[in-house]
Amino acid sequence: MTDKVDAPLNILEMRGITKTFPGVKALQDVTIEVGRGQVHAICGENGAGKSTLMKVLSGVYPFGTYEGDIVFENKTVEFKDIRDSEAEGIVIIHQELALSPYLSIAENIFLNNEQRGGLGLIDWNKTNAEAAKLLARVGLRENPTTKIMDIGVGKQQLVEIAKALSKRVKLLILDEPTAALNDEDSDHLLNLILHLKEQGITAIIISHKLNEIKKVADAVTVIRDGKTIETIKKSDVTEERIIKDMVGRDLENRYPDHTPHIGDEILRVEDWTAHHPQDVSRVVVDNVNINVRRGEIVGIAGLMGAGRTEFAMSLFGRSYGSKISGRVFKNGVEIKTRTVSEAIANGLAYATEDRKTYGLNLIDDIKRNISMAALKKLEKLGLVNDGQEWTVANEYRKSMNIKSPTVLAKTGKLSGGNQQKVVLSKWIYSDPDVLILDEPTRGIDVGAKYEIYSIINKLAAEGKGVIVISSELPELLGICDRIYALSEGRITGELPIEEASPEALLKLMTMEKAR
């Protein structure tokens, strides 16, 4: 099943890796060979075992807790912990960055690897000078003494890589490095990976984004259900083949069919303006006018910082911003959305782009998360009907295909796709007329994305208005009936789906204010 990758010499071979958790085989006889000086992509749905494999490799799961061999640089290695693997030059950069926000860039780079001078004290001149050299290598123009909290996520990612370089990395593992980055930062990062490759640094990149895999990877290994499906050479890589391997079937259409039945206008927002919460003079949402009709899926396209989320959250109970003005009409009647509860009562729902921080109570179960926004429906004399709540949650578990044996499972233990289904269940249960879905498929694998799109279609078919905010243009083009483009807080254009193309949208999305 596995195609041999023709590489002169493999820097890493993992042979027959099997990792068992109580009751579950997370990895089963996984074999992967990574050629020296190559960029090797690992693909797979959430829960397929990618992260587990990387944890085995980096020593998070120490030698002895798994079966199989790891051969690095032609010798069998037995890592007891992450320090062991780092000593050999294997560095893993996790999806959630491990930087300390209040420390400087230089301090972070040399954290636990401090540049010492006499008496064992830290030599700050050396620290900052060395850091500056590393920053130059990753193409980050920042002062080494700048605090991490003062730079964006894209730059933080580069700091992580600089930190890895400081450890004389031979094999760099990046877990979904561009998940939180905008297109520009993503491009920069991918180019950096290619640049580092020229310097002889091997990289393993775990990613969902098939276009970027095609761009950087020399080989792709697909993992499904804890098993290696195949390794594909660069010349043979096609998106279709990867998707087929990942989900185990052909996904001819990544977007489910959707025949719109569009009715009357259900929501209209007029002259919506919001200012920055701290910097009150800064206009973040500038005179936005949009409308949504029954059964319509409306997209909002915009680059990072265009004010997409800010618009949605300021509309949804003034959860963002200051000095908010504008009018909202539902079915032609003006409504108020001054607080979240008022917005919900008026039939609005907002599913956040950041489920873990803003969407879910991760330490509580599926059931209570689903009922959280609509407890009133289960309430009698101030008391919640437990049994009814359980029934409701169970119905959603089945209808939304939330993969958990019971609704009593904690949401923190679910995969991204299933967490998103819980969030959607919560909002659907609150009986909204208009749903605003902010990046509904961020960090979700291909199969689950298809399910989320089907849910969105179903909501529209029921006559609800759906607003989808997304930074992935293909997604908007695949599911929407009409798309607004947002730039610098202003609506710069509106295209029906027939006229929308990536080029046309990008032009609108980058349109700058006349100054």
* Phi, psi values for residue 103, rounded to 5°: -95, 160
CA geometry: angle at 48 spanning 80 and 30, to 5°? Answer: 55
Strands (E), 317-398: 322-330, 333-335, 348-351, 379-380, 383-384
Residues across the chain: 515
Per CB under 8 A, does 344 bind another protein? yes
Q: How far apart are CA 222 and CA 202, in angstroms?
A: 18
Element counts in the chain: helices (H) and strands (E): 16, 22
* CA torsion through residues 56, 62, 68, 72, sign: positive
DSSP at 511: P
Q: Are 32 and 228 in contact (CB under 8 A)?
A: yes
The window from 71-79, 157-165, 330-338, 397-405 that contacts another protein (CB under 8 A) reads 397-405
The window from 34-42, 74-82, 330-338, 395-403 that contacts another protein (CB under 8 A) reads 395-403
* Residue 411 CA: distances (Å) to CA of 28, 79, 416: 26, 32, 10
Q: Are 313 and 320 in contact (CB under 8 A)?
A: yes
Per CB under 8 A, does 332 bind another protein? no
Per CB under 8 A, does 16 bind another protein? no
Residue closer to another protein (CB basis): 172 or 422: 422
Residue closer to another protein (CB basis): 131 or 366: 366
Tokens 């993969």 found at: 403
Per CB under 8 A, does 82 bind another protein? no
Interface characters, 440-479, with another protein (x: CB under 8 A): -------x--xx--xx--x---------------------
Give the count of beta carbons closer than 10 Å to the beta carbon of residue 257: 7
Tokens 């909290």 found at: 149
**Count of residues of this chain found to bind another protein when the rule CB under 8 A is applied:** 69
Q: Are 185 and 144 in contact (CB under 8 A)?
A: no
Residue closer to another protein (CB basis): 84 or 395: 395
Torsion of CA 29, 224, 41, 437, to 10 degrees: -150
Interface characters, 353-392, with another protein (x: CB under 8 A): ----xxxxxxxx---x--xxx-xx--x--xxx-xx--xx-
Closest C-alpha among 445, 503, 422 to residue 179 = 445
* CA torsion through residues 340, 342, 344, 349, sign: negative
Q: Which residues is 14 bridged to in the sheet?
A: 32, 70
Binding positions for another protein, 33-62, rule CB under 8 A: 47-49
Residue closer to another protein (CB basis): 191 or 341: 341
Per CB under 8 A, does 319 bind another protein? yes
Binding positions for another protein, 197-256, rule CB under 8 A: 225-226, 247-249, 256
Residue 474 amino acid letter: P
Residue closer to another protein (CB basis): 243 or 283: 243
Quote the least distance from Cβ 27 to another protein, whole Å: 8
Per CB under 8 A, does 177 bind another protein? no
Per CB under 8 A, does 24 bind another protein? yes
When binding is defined by CB under 8 A, the residue of 4, 9, 23, 74 that contacts another protein is 23
Quote the least distance from Cβ 326 to another protein, whole Å: 20
Quote the least distance from Cβ 396 to another protein, whole Å: 10
Binding-site ranges for another protein (CB under 8 A)? 21-28, 47-49, 225-226, 247-249, 256, 316-317, 319, 339-341, 343-345, 350, 352, 357-364, 368, 371-373, 375-376, 379, 382-384, 386-387, 390-391, 394, 399-401, 403-406, 408-409, 413, 426, 430, 447, 450-451, 454-455, 458
